[in-house]
Amino acid sequence: MKCRVKLASSVDQKQRFAPLSVDTGRSHSKKCSPRSFWSSRKTLSKAKVKRNLLVILVVMLSRRLRSITNFFLANLAGADLCVALFCIYQNLLIYMIDSWILGNFLCKMYMFIQSLSNTASIFILVVICTERYFAILYPIKCKQILTANRLKIIICIVWTLCVLYSIPKLIFASAILNGNETVCILNRQLYNSKWFDMIHFGLFYVVPLGVMSTKIELVFSFENMKRSVSK
């Protein structure tokens, strides 16, 4: 009986002081099926490239589809194309290798293009929502105001603002050594990350959500008013 008690206590001590293995989910999936994960991401990237290129080419080559909304959708496809070309494979390499192997320059470009594509997508969606709002509520004025030249100016302003906003990512991003690994991160010691995150949250979440929600609500109320008047 004493031997059993001693044996049980020794087993408990070994279990108590044994090193803990934390399953993050990333390493587990990495061990399970890296080939299937690679093939699925590769297929996704190819599909995104083909579909976005198809949208851009169709809008550019077809005269019937050269409308205001389709013009904005083509630019939205261009922003999504940047993600497919410059972000998916890099994320895949980070997931599979756990280290950045593409060097400092591509680290900066990765951070820059990722920020550029995301911010451009958000701004273009806001522009599309605003254009649809004026097209429904003020159709005659919309055609007079939104000419082809003004559309190009609006899109140029959107892309310019997104480039200017993403330039800090190009400057502060760097590939640094972290033990045995190389990571691509933003050096947040060189700028105030708290203020940057607050500005980013306000500009690219609160403001777009407020603008789009207000426009959509006004359009729905206008349509409901038209239905009530027609009845």
Distance CA 85, CA 45 (A): 7
How many of the other CB atoms lie within 10 Å of CB of 86?
17
Q: Which has the higher per-residue pLDDT, 75 or 15?
A: 75
Which residue type sits at 144? Q
**Distance of CA 55 to CAs 22, 89, 97, 153, Å?**
45, 22, 33, 21
- 82, with CB counted inside 10 A (0-12, 13-18, 19+), is middle
Q: Mean per-residue pLDDT for 165-188? A: 84
Residue 157 confidence class, pLDDT cut points 50, 70, 90 = very high
pLDDT of residue 168: 87
In a domain, 179, yes or no: yes
If phi > 0 it is left, if psi is from -120 to 50 it is alpha, else beta; for residue 22 that is beta
Residue 29: pLDDT above 90?
Answer: no
Residue 14: pLDDT above 70?
Answer: no
pLDDT of residue 60: 85
In a domain, 200, yes or no: yes
Contact 184, 109 (CB under 8 A): no
Greatest CA span in the chain, whole angstroms?
Answer: 96
Token duo for residue 86? 């410059």
Residue 134, domain CATH = 1.20.1070.10
pLDDT of residue 12: 43
In a domain, 26, yes or no: no
Contact 77, 124 (CB under 8 A): no
* Per-residue pLDDT tens digits for 137-151: 888 888 888 887 888
Residue 102: pLDDT above 60?
Answer: yes
How many of the other CB atoms lie within 10 Å of CB of 1?
5
Q: Mean per-residue pLDDT for 51-55? A: 86
Token duo for residue 147? 């000419």
In a domain, 111, yes or no: yes
Whether the model clears a pTM of 0.85, i.e. scores above it, the answer is: no
Residue 42: pLDDT above 70?
Answer: no
Q: Between the ranges 49-53, 185-189, 217-221, where is the mean pLDDT highest?
A: 217-221
Residue 160 confidence class, pLDDT cut points 50, 70, 90 = very high
- Residue 185 pairs in a beta bridge with 174
Distance CA 164, CA 142 (A): 29
pLDDT of residue 45: 67
For the chain, what is the domain count? 1
In a domain, 134, yes or no: yes
Task: Give the domain extent around 167.
Answer: 37-230
In a domain, 192, yes or no: yes
* Per-residue pLDDT tens digits for 204-225: 899 999 999 999 998 888 788 8
In a domain, 32, yes or no: no
In a domain, 154, yes or no: yes
